[in-house]
Structure 1
């Protein structure tokens, strides 16, 4: 496989991957500023969220770096260029999607797009070898119509099963919306479950986790189980999410706009919804 453009593209991708790989090994990538670590997750930019996520596991970072270095070295040799390009093209395309989706630096996006384009060109020059691997030279004899329809039905069932399970989990297991879903600041009253260092200052009725309530005091969070009956305006909170355990609170609630009042016996607990 010869050609100036081919050689240039091969070496561009090799250099990009080697740069990526050694940058991770030597700590030039996937490192997070202390000031970013002190910010609430909802205030962190997509760039630092991505950096923190990929850098959380040193094992993953090292493995990813070695993969990039290995693919770069494969591209440096003509005999293994196809292998390197086959791994580099989807890898760099994925990095480009991450760079674009999470608003990573523009220059990083340009570099990854150039690398993905060059790797794709190298693959194009090897298209005959790829076709020989992934496509048969001779079309197989046509299967009977009944067998073809049976295959279509089987594929549809295989796709429908995980799709329906995922839909159920998302809409009936993970989510069971209640009128109280959202983030609330405690404005008066006190609710202090065992183990919480002080009365709850902020309460999270989780929309994306059915029956889950999280209470916070300072930098301490506790997760509990809650249930409400909107028709009767009643609420109950238990110690352990899903399995319940000891009941911590039982009472009634009044919801007026962004104001929530929970009454238990002779005491009341007032909260105000936080705008997000």
Structure 2
């Protein structure tokens, strides 16, 4: 059995199959048969959208964005049709194919089997030429050698072993502190629905709140809230940026229920999220 010929036939089959299939998906984007949301989706609250509808709405929101993806897919297909340009074509193909594969799994898109198959075929084409890739990316000397650089740069190049960890540690600490300062979630954080009026109270980051009704984007009220051990105060701003108490009272809180005792009676809420 001639394994070289079998490898040749499989390699050629994969190249042409990948190029042909991806052209199909490219034209689906260009002609708007992919990333198209049904009219009913536009009136659904974002929290009710499943992964498929959310992804299709996101990618379909801007036509030219999908068009750029389609052009990239066509470019990779044309490169895959020719042996001399297969290397760059397969690398370009994998840049979007792996993203598609991850998206399908993360957002439960009903095309996982196709994405897995195409990714495995692309990896077969890529690693069929692993010697050339290894030589170019690893074994080939870098663009600038030590002899090309000033001596003082070579002497201090060891500093990078301090600089690189410092970058990781610095950004980790900075963003951890920013999260604790501005995105910290207190015990009220989340969405609570008034059992009587069906109004939804959204307690959000930086001690801010918004009140609206399900399916309505316009706020009934918004502002900032504060609380003590047993008291909760919601302050809203009017059109003149004057602050006033929107709601104030004693509260009883559990994981799934909230009761606020006000002068006009008790307000009972259940946690939505």
Using the size of structure 2 for normalisation, the TM-score is: 0.80
Aligned length: 255
1:61 matched residue in structure 2: 66
Matches within 5 A, 1:10-49: 10-49=15-54
1:122 deviates by: 1.8
Q: Contact conserved, 2:195 with 2:270, CA < 8 A, in 1?
A: no
Query: 2:177 matched to 1:174?
Result: no
The C-alpha deviation readout for 1:203-233, integer Å capped at 9, x for no partner, is 1112xx2212111046243263323232362
1:229 matched residue in structure 2: 227
In the alignment, structure 1 segments of 5+ residues that lack a partner are 189-198
The C-alpha deviation readout for 1:110-138, integer Å capped at 9, x for no partner, is 22222211222222233233223322446
Matches within 5 A, 1:1-276: 3-105=8-110, 108-137=111-140, 150-177=159-186, 179-187=187-195, 201-206=199-204, 209-217=205-213, 219-222=216-219, 224-231=222-229, 233-239=231-237, 246-249=243-246, 251-257=248-254, 258-263=257-262, 266-268=263-265, 270-276=267-273
The C-alpha deviation readout for 1:236-255, integer Å capped at 9, x for no partner, is 31328xxx753343633322
Distance 1:247 1:13, change over 3 A: same
1:274 deviates by: 3.1
Moved more, 80-89 or 131-140: 131-140
RMSD: 3.1
**C-alpha distance in structure 1 between counterparts of 2:51 and 2:68, whole Å:** 23
2:151 matched residue in structure 1: none
1:83 deviates by: 1.1
**C-alpha distance in structure 2 between counterparts of 1:250 and 1:155, whole Å:** 50
**C-alpha distance in structure 2 between counterparts of 1:138 and 1:85, whole Å:** 23
Give every structure 1 segment of 4 or more consecutive aligned residues whose post-TM-superposition deviation is greater than 3 Å: 136-141, 146-150, 266-269
Moved more, 4-13 or 130-139: 130-139
Counterpart of 1:180 in 2: which secondary structure? coil
Counterpart of 2:109 in 1: which secondary structure? coil
1:68 deviates by: 0.9
1:235 deviates by: 1.3
Tell me which protein shows more helix as a share of its residues: 2
